[in-house]
Amino acid sequence: MRELLLAGPISAPFVFLALSLVGVGAVEVAARRSGASADGALLRRWILGIGLWALAVVLSVLIVPEPTGGPHLLARWGAVPVIVQFVVLLAATDLLQALIHRVLHRVPVLWRLHAIHHADRTYGVPTALRFHPLETLLRSFAQAGLLAVLGPDGAALMAVIVVDTCWNVFEHAGFDLPPRIERALATVFVTPGVHRVHHAAAGALHETNFATVFTLWDRVMGTYHPSVGSVVPVGLARWNSGDDLVDNLLAPWREPRDDSGN
Ligand SMILES: [Zn+2]
């Protein structure tokens, strides 16, 4: 989602974002056919996610610079095949964003921005859009810096934006994959089960699985944790920013609402 902002809202990544939201969202609804979740609550979560995303798009298009300067290493190295550029840029993007994600958890003032993403007490596709616009701006500036350093081919960049955008939606899917597929996929890729661990309310699990696409980076950092299924409660016990757009925009500057009863 966040890299979409570098390409503007009317673009191939926007189309893929819409398709992935609808596709993964439809599977999610079918998987929950018991109808346990209230429709009104689901609608509020979608409205909140789309509202935050739209604000982030506007801010980023206005503020984040085009990465025209910089060493543009991939361009200078001559005839680097586009597929190689794609793999290098996707891996570098995923590592950069995983490191930023760790910093967002470590630095208290940044955690207050990131907390609204974790405050969602239902894990599902709308969670993929639930980022404070200032967090998205921070990530977009960092991504612009990476693009200035690497200077990838336009086709490689577009493919990375599409994959990263769709994978962000997929990893927040509110359903379990079949166990054998889950285990096989998680040897290389972040699955919904793996990323759900990161959203666990339990403190220790909460500090695992920071990457978006590849499990490699968390394995290297020692923060990888395999999926524990959808039985684990998600959200933040002592931080409830609700599902209202204004409340979530202002949440970093307010005292967290504590609904834990403690
Ligand atoms: Zn996080």
The verdict on residue 260 lying in a domain is: no
pLDDT tens digits along 59-99: 988 888 877 778 888 877 667 888 999 999 999 999 999 99
Percent of the chain with pLDDT over 70: 89
CA distances from 105 to 31, 48, 69, 117, 218 (A): 31, 22, 31, 11, 15
The verdict on residue 207 lying in a domain is: yes
pLDDT tens digits along 167-182: 999 999 988 899 999 9
The verdict on residue 181 lying in a domain is: yes
Per mean pLDDT, which of 2-6, 73-77, 158-162, 221-225 is the most reliable? 221-225
- Taking the centre of ligand 1 as the mean of its atom positions, its distance from the CA of residue 224, in whole angstroms, is 13
The verdict on residue 75 lying in a domain is: yes
The verdict on residue 261 lying in a domain is: no
Q: Rounded to two decimals, what is the model's pTM? A: 0.87
- Taking the centre of ligand 1 as the mean of its atom positions, its distance from the CA of residue 73, in whole angstroms, is 31
The verdict on residue 71 lying in a domain is: yes
Domain residue limits at 243: 4-253
The verdict on residue 258 lying in a domain is: no
The verdict on residue 191 lying in a domain is: yes
3-state helix vs strand vs coil in the chain, percent to 5: 65, 0, 35
- Taking the centre of ligand 1 as the mean of its atom positions, its distance from the CA of residue 108, in whole angstroms, is 13
Domain count, the chain: 1
Region 144-161: mean pLDDT is 90
For residues 115 and 235, give the distance between their C-alpha atoms in angstroms, rounded to a whole number.
9
- Taking the centre of ligand 1 as the mean of its atom positions, its distance from the CA of residue 69, in whole angstroms, is 31
- Taking the centre of ligand 1 as the mean of its atom positions, its distance from the CA of residue 226, in whole angstroms, is 16
The DSSP code sequence of 207-251 is: TS---SSBSHHHHHHT-------TTS-BS-TT---TT-HHHHHHG
The DSSP code sequence of 120-157 is: -SS-SGGGGG---HHHHHHHHHHHHHHHHHH---HHHH
The burial class, CB within 10 Å (0-12 / 13-18 / 19+), for 82 is: middle
- Taking the centre of ligand 1 as the mean of its atom positions, its distance from the CA of residue 111, in whole angstroms, is 9
- Taking the centre of ligand 1 as the mean of its atom positions, its distance from the CA of residue 256, in whole angstroms, is 17
